[in-house]
Structures are given as structure tokens and as C-alpha cells.
């Protein structure tokens, strides 16, 4: 198991997602980055939605080469999206990728969803490992969604990031409205909207009379009036680009808490 | 299934963890908060280390009451730590808790570990749901670790947070050195250290000749000289208190990226 196929001078680009190796969005993203470098795909064997930044510690990981052609290697891994990034960077590859792209996710990952999203988990993991990283999501859950506009937009953003770079500890969360390029009004750099999911568990009873619950719910927007957030941009048919940081420290609170004299 | 046991005027305190309902650290944390209010425990049925902010979307959730006495209700749930918070807040409880405490984790959750940690996943979930939330971790992986000092420190911090409150979207990540109260030099308010885990996958071969990998590795500190980080504090036998925020936006990058003219 090696990555000899990728031994040339072009930039090395790592592609992953959380919908799994078979997802249409992944194949589309591979097409976006193919002209830009040597591409290595390490994607989950099965869908890993909601897996966030989880890692697999209780069971062993496996990976398998699924496809090989010049400048393109595709593997699947039985772990989470973050496991995929770790396996690629720490086990498979001999050099650090120049770029990590995750997606294109089938479904939105704006606002608070960054916390639950495997797409963004993988993106943040790339960023922690000091790789310029971008997560892409399309606002359609359909498995056969139309990625035509998404591909054009992702290509534009990827090329810009490869040209400009990203600072250490910063990655991008890109969400794309579902529609044609003509319908999309432009690209907005935004902040993460504040909100949360109000869960409405769907309570059922199994044949033995025991209750069980399906997680369901709706998004509560805590700042619906704000005009500079990703939720606003998407609602108004703009692509949202939110720069995310891996330093979670609330720096402005440090002095206040120091005054508590703990 | 209801929470009638908790119908009094005292503050409602939600306790969870990622080591599971049977973990010693959870029982110790319950003892810390018992004198301060009505306590509801919703903890994973089994250990959920490394589950981060993951939610369960592919299988149903179940919960079961395990213990009941005046002002104390204990449930287990078959999901992740974040599922536990959602089940407690959205299904079980009729009022929003005044406080969420998660832990006391058996093992460190400083620096970049906040991303992988189920303890901190639950803490951040409480924060997203606008509940003042604190995650506690002891720097010992032993299942029979001595929590004597941790309990005194956790009690002090919990009482201070109940007195002072926390702003919306800010929670606390508290890590406690393994030692006696006399050995611990004090409590430092810190920022999250920058670093990452260098994985060294333990590659093995199964009886059928197929390779598999165990995730293992060591922490690489990217700023070992810094004197204001949680890693520094813990290395020097201080308790580290890092205020974390749920707004992940890299605000300082927004104008720079706008100038890219995407």
C-alpha cells in the first residue's frame, strides 16, 4: 500500500467527505480539483453524517484502494471523516497535502451545524494539521442533486485559496444555495449565525412495548435580523464563505474571568 | 417517564459525561453539585470517548431511569454525550437547566483535544442551547483515579459560575492536574494551546492476512514556549480554565477574504 501513483511535482490535494465514497458530491468535487494537482481521495466506506469531529478509538480502522489512475488515487476507510484525514496524512501519504477539500456535502452545514457536521469535522482536522482546508456543502439533500453551479463556485474558491493561501488555524466553510449559477447572486464572506436546533424527538414504541426516539427537529435562528451571517446570505441566494478558526478561546472573556479570583 | 422528582424551586443542574453512567468521575461530579440544586443525570450507557460533538441519526435513541431519590434523578441513554444533552433538554425536562456540568473526565481534554472530546462536545452543546456549561477533566486515565482535589476545585468553579453567570455562547473547559490540593499551585485562566496529534497508526494483520490499524499517537505542542496556554498551566501544576466560544468565525480574516473579490 503506497502512493507512488502520486509521485510528481504537482500540488497534492486530499479529498474527503462525510457522505461516503459513493456519494455524487464527492465525485463532483474530485472533478473540480483534478485539473489542479495530484488527487488523493480518502473517504468513509459508508455515510457518516452527524459524526462531527469524532475519532474511532474502540475498534480498528481499515482502508482499501478502490481506484487508481495517473494523478488520482481513491481509498475508502471504515472510520469517520476525521479518521480518514488522519489515515491519509499519517499512514498513507509521505508528504503533507497542499490542500484539503471536504464535500461537496449533500445538505447545508451553515451556522451551528458546523459542530455536528462530519464534512466540517474533516475540514477542521485538516486545519489543525496545518493544511489549507475548505468544506463545501450544497443546500440539497437529494442524492442526485445538481452540482453544476457548486462545481463552478468550488473551483473558483479552490483556485483562490491555492493562490492566496490561508493562515494557520483558519479554514473555510462554504455553503452553496441550490440553484443555477444565474440564480445565485454572488459570494458573501460571512460570520457564523447564532442559533440552535430545537429537537422534537419522534417517540415510538417497539414491539416489546419499550419507547425509543428518533432525533428530529428544526433550526432556531437566534438572530434572524442580522445581515452579515451565513444564514442571511443563504436565505438571500448568496454563497456563504465563513472563515472558521480552530482556536476556540473566548479571548475577550479571559480578563473578566481572571477577576473572579478563582 | 417524567421529572416530577425535581419539582422544587432549587436550581436545576444537568450532569453528563463521556465515560458513561458507571464512571467514577461522574459520581464524583454528582456529589459536587448535589448540595447546590436539583440534579438530573443523563449519561451515556457506555463509554463514548472520542465522540466529539457527534449525534446519532442512523439509529433510534433510548433512555432508562436508573436511580431516583429526592432532588436526584439518574438516566442512561444509548447515544453520544451530545445526544444525552438533547434528550435531557428536549425530551425529559420541562424547564431549561440553570447549569450543565460534564465530566469529571478520566483524562486530559486540554488544547486541541476539545475537538475530539465527548466531555467537551456535551459542554459545547449545553452552551449552544444557552445553558451555562462547564466541562471538567482530570489528568488521569485510571478508572479508580483520586478525585479529592478535583471535587474541591470543581465545587469552587461551579459556585462561582452560578454566582457570576456566563455570557451567551461562552462555556468553560477546566482541566485539573493529577495530585493533591497541596500539590496544585492554583487556578489559571488560559487560552487554548495550539498543537495537534501526530498519529502513529499501529498496523497489524488479521488472521485472514488483511491489514488493520489502531489509532495511536502523541501530542505535538506547536508553541511549547508560550506561558499563557492551558498546556503550560497543566505542565506547571496549575488548573487550567479556558473560556471557549461557540462562534467559530475567524472575524479578523473576514475583511482579508473580502479583498479576494470572490
User: A238-245 and A170-176 as β-strands: parallel, antiparallel, unpaired?
Assistant: antiparallel
User: Which domains occur in chain A, in start order?
Assistant: 4-192+226-258 (3.40.1210.10)
Burial class (CB in 10 A: 0-12, 13-18, 19+), B109: buried
Cβ distance A55 to B257 less than 8 Å, yes or no, reads no
At residue A236, the 3 state secondary structure works out as coil
Evaluate if residue A222 carries a pLDDT over 90.
yes
B-chain residues near A187 (CB < 8 A)? 262
Nearest Cα of chain B lies from the Cα of A173 at a distance, in angstroms, of: 10
Query: In Å, what is the CA distance from A127 to each residue of A181, A242, B163, B194, B243?
Result: 29, 14, 37, 11, 21
For CA atoms A41, A45, A49, A53, give the dihedral sign.
negative
Contacts of A243 in chain B (CB under 8 A): 249-250, 253-254, 257
Selected residue of B61, B212, B249, B254 to mutate for chain A interface (largest A Cβ count, 10 A): B249
Rounded to 5 degrees, what angle do the CA atoms B57, A127, B135 make?
60
Provide the 10 A C-beta neighbour count for residue A22: 15
Task: State the Cα–Cα distance between residues A117 and A127, nearest whole angstrom.
Answer: 15
Cα gap B202→A59, rounded to integer Å: 12
Q: Do B189 and A262 touch (CB under 8 A)?
A: yes
Taking the C-alpha atoms of residue A176 and residue A242, their distance in angstroms, rounded to an integer, is 12
Using an 8 Å CB-CB cutoff, list chain B residues near A204. 60
Q: Residues B193, A259, B101, CA angle at the centre, nearest 5°?
A: 60
User: What are A233-248's pLDDT values in tens digits?
Assistant: 999 999 999 999 999 9
pLDDT bin (cut points 50, 70, 90) of residue B199 is confident
Alpha helices, DSSP H, located in chain B: 24-33, 81-87, 118-128, 148-164, 230-235, 251-258
Substitution target from A85, A174, A257 for chain B, most B beta carbons within 10 A: A257
pLDDT at position A2 is 45
Contacts (Cβ under 8 Å, ≥6 apart) of B245 = A248, A249, A250, A253, B169, B170
pTM of the complete model:
0.95
Residue among B90, B187, B201 minimizing CB distance to A91: B201
Task: Give the residue among B52, B82, B93 at the shortest CA–CA distance from A196.
Answer: B82
Contact criterion met (CB below 8 Å) for B114 and B244: yes
State the Cα–Cα distance between residues A133 and A165, nearest whole angstrom. Answer: 10
What DSSP designation does B4 have? Answer: G
Chain A interface mutation, best of B115, B185, B209, highest count of A Cβ atoms under 10 Å: B115
Tell me the average pLDDT across A204-215.
91
Distance of CA B2 to the CA centre of its chain: 26
Whole-number pLDDT of residue A107: 96
Q: Are A99 and A122 in contact (CB under 8 A)?
A: no
Is the pLDDT at A70 greater than 90, yes or no?
A: yes
pLDDT > 80? residue A6: no
- The chain B residue lying nearest A1, using CA atoms, is B211
Q: Which of B214, B243, B254 sits opposite A250 (nearest CB)?
A: B243
pLDDT in tens, B23-61: 999 999 999 999 999 999 999 999 998 999 999 988 999
Amino acid at each position: 500500500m503506497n502512493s507512488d501513483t502520486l509521485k510528481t511535482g504537482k500540488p497534492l490535494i486530499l479529498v474527503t467527505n462525510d457522505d461516503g465514497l459513493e456519494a455524487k458530491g464527492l465525485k463532483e468535487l474530485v472533478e473540480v480539483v483534478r485539473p489542479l494537482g495530484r488527487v488523493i481521495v480518502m473517504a468513509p466506506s459508508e455515510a457518516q453524517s452527524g459524526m462531527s469531529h469524532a475519532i474511532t478509538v474502540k475498534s480498528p480502522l481499515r482502508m482499501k484502494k478502490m481506484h487508481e489512475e495517473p494523478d488520482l488515487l481513491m481509498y475508502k476507510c471504515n472510520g469517520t471523516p476525521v479518521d480518514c484525514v488522519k489515515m491519509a496524512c499519517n499512514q498513507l501519504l509521505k508528504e503533507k497535502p497542499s490542500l484539503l477539500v471536504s464535500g461537496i456535502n449533500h445538505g447545508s452545514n451553515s451556522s451551528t451545524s458546523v459542530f455536528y457536521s462530519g464534512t466540517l469535522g474533516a475540514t477542521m482536522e485538516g486545519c489543525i494539521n496545518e493544511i489549507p482546508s475548505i468544506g463545501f456543502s450544497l443546500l440539497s439533500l437529494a442524492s442526485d442533486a445538481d452540482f453544476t453551479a457548486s462545481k463552478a463556485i468550488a473551483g473558483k474558491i479552490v483556485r483562490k485559496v491555492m493562490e492566496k493561501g490561508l493562515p494557520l488555524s483558519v479554514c473555510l466553510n462554504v455553503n452553496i444555495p441550490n440553484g443555477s449559477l444565474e440564480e445565485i447572486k454572488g459570494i458573501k464572506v460571512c460570520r457564523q449565525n447564532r442559533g440552535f436546533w430545537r429537537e422534537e424527538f419522534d417517540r415510538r414504541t417497539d414491539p416489546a412495548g419499550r419507547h425509543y426516539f428518533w432525533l428530529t427537529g428544526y433550526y432556531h435562528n437566534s438572530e434572524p435580523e442580522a445581515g452579515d451571517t451565513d444564514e442571511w446570505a443563504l436565505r438571500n441566494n448568496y454563497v456563504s464563505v465563513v472563515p472558521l478558526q480552530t482556536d476556540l478561546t473566548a479571548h475577550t472573556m479571559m480578563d473578566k474571568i481572571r477577576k473572579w479570583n478563582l
